[in-house]
Amino acid sequence: MASLLSIHTLAPLTPKAFLRIKSVNNQRVGKPVSVLSRASAMGVQYQLKEGQSRVFHVLPSGLNMEVIIQKSTRNDPNEDKSENPPLVFVHGSFHAAWCWAEHWLSFFSQHGYDCYAVSLLAQGESDSPAGKVAGSLQTHANDIADFIQKEVRLSPVLIGHSFGGLIVQSYLSDMRTEHSSGRDNLLPRLAGAVLICSVPPSGNGGLVWRYLLSKPIAAFKVTLSLAAKAFSTSLPLCKETFFSPEMEDHLVRRYQELMKESSRLPLFDLRKLNASLPVPSIPRSTLQVLVLGASDDFIVDDEGLNETARFYGVPPVCVKGVAHDMMLDCSWGKGADMILSWLNSLNKQNSM
């Protein structure tokens, strides 16, 4: 889930391309698959919190995609919950739906939002496709679209982190192309999008070279951590890559174990990915987009954040005192508060 260099997949360390970088309730989502009827894909299982459920959405391919759900718990009779758009969360490399379930699903559900966190194929408890990679930007976006179209009643806000942010960007571009071309609605419309510590629309190439030229030691560490997956064996490196220095070691160790088990295949073939970038632009004002970064992000630098913001014609928002894994970091509430404020503003605009 990492990004930029996060990006799950850095290729060989060469000067040219340094980083080619479960219970189930009776809620229906696709075709629920009982957890007891299938072996766990992860050696370290994530235990759901109160109010959460795990279901498996059956994709057109027949593969099962894990979805962790937490519905709104706000019960104010004077407030119409239906006005709040559902939230669909998309993780990045080395992560899965559990990363959102730890804090943010509960937080946003308590504020009146139905929440759905997906695990992309070959990640978390989702099935794995045949082949050496989990998919492409388009196949991942199509899987998310299939879930939204069949199981989410209202147009949602799509929230992506790190490489998940690039998948969301692909979704935005494909959604625009299909609607403008008069084709059948393959990608459902969205109420908005949030890009968190996202890989920029041009990919991670610029990030890589900036690190190589200005922060060679940091570049080496990121490559070692992500490309060589050293984060999975080194607690200090895992902390430096994803979390704030203040993060307690026992929490880092817990997340480290989950991350080690979360990704059975790389999200993409990076060479093919880079050949398909940048993602096509979309007209400004077509959709409300929040571009959110972290001041202590070890993976996505300020220029990467600014590039994404410029692409969508919005001001970047940088959360101070938070690291790359904003939803898991010890100050996770800072990013959650920022997004909630934006969501509330979005709701007001949409109700006018």
Share of the chain above pLDDT 90, in %: 64
Please give the backbone phi and psi of residue 207, each rounded to the nearest 5 degrees, phi first. Answer: -60, -45
Tracing tokens 């040219």 back to the chain, one arrives at 16
- DSSP assigned state of 144: H
For residue 15, what pLDDT band results from cuts at 50, 70 and 90? very low
For residue 66, what pLDDT band results from cuts at 50, 70 and 90? very high
CA distance 229 to 236: 13
Q: What is the CATH number of the domain that holds 286?
A: 3.40.50.1820
- Residue at 323 is within a domain: yes
CA distance 291 to 160: 10
Mean pLDDT of the chain: 84
> In the structure encoding, which two tokens stand for residue 108, read together?
């946003």
H or E, element range at 343: helix 332-351
> In the structure encoding, which two tokens stand for residue 270, read together?
């990076």
Task: Report the candidate in 50, 96, 102, 83 with the shortest Cα–Cα distance to residue 335.
Answer: 102
More confident residue, 343 or 207: 343
Task: Report the candidate in 292, 343, 279 with the shortest Cα–Cα distance to residue 318.
Answer: 292
More confident residue, 181 or 122: 122
Residue 188, SS3?
A: coil
- Residue at 129 is within a domain: yes
CA distance 78 to 267: 44
Per-residue pLDDT reduced to its tens digit, 264-314: 999 999 889 888 899 998 877 679 999 999 999 998 999 999 999 999 999
Confidence check: pLDDT of 121 > 60: yes
- Residue at 259 is within a domain: no
At residue 224, the pLDDT reads 56
At residue 83, the pLDDT reads 81
- Residue at 329 is within a domain: yes
- DSSP assigned state of 58: E
Buried b / exposed e over 227-255, threshold 16 CB at 10 Å, is bebebbebeebbbbbbbbeebeeeebeeb
At residue 10, the pLDDT reads 32
CA distance 300 to 215: 13
| Cβ(82)–Cβ(93) below 8 Å | no
Amino acid at 278: P
At residue 229, the pLDDT reads 77
- Residue at 226 is within a domain: no
- From first CA to last CA, the distance across the chain in angstroms is 37
- Cβ atoms within 10 Å of 50's Cβ, excluding its own: 7
Confidence check: pLDDT of 345 > 80: yes
Integer-rounded Cα radius of gyration of the chain = 19
Q: Is the dihedral of CA 269, 185, 125, 117 positive or negative?
A: positive
- Residue at 134 is within a domain: yes
Tally of domains within the chain: 1
- Residue at 8 is within a domain: no
Residue 17, SS3?
A: coil
- DSSP assigned state of 225: I
For residue 1, what pLDDT band results from cuts at 50, 70 and 90? very low
At residue 212, the pLDDT reads 62
Q: What pTM, to 2 d.p., does this model score?
A: 0.85
Per-residue pLDDT reduced to its tens digit, 315-324: 999 999 999 9
- Residue at 237 is within a domain: no
Confidence check: pLDDT of 64 > 60: yes
Domain that holds residue 338: 52-73+82-203+265-351
Q: Percentage helix, strand, coil, to 5, in the chain?
A: 40, 15, 45
For residue 209, what pLDDT band results from cuts at 50, 70 and 90? low
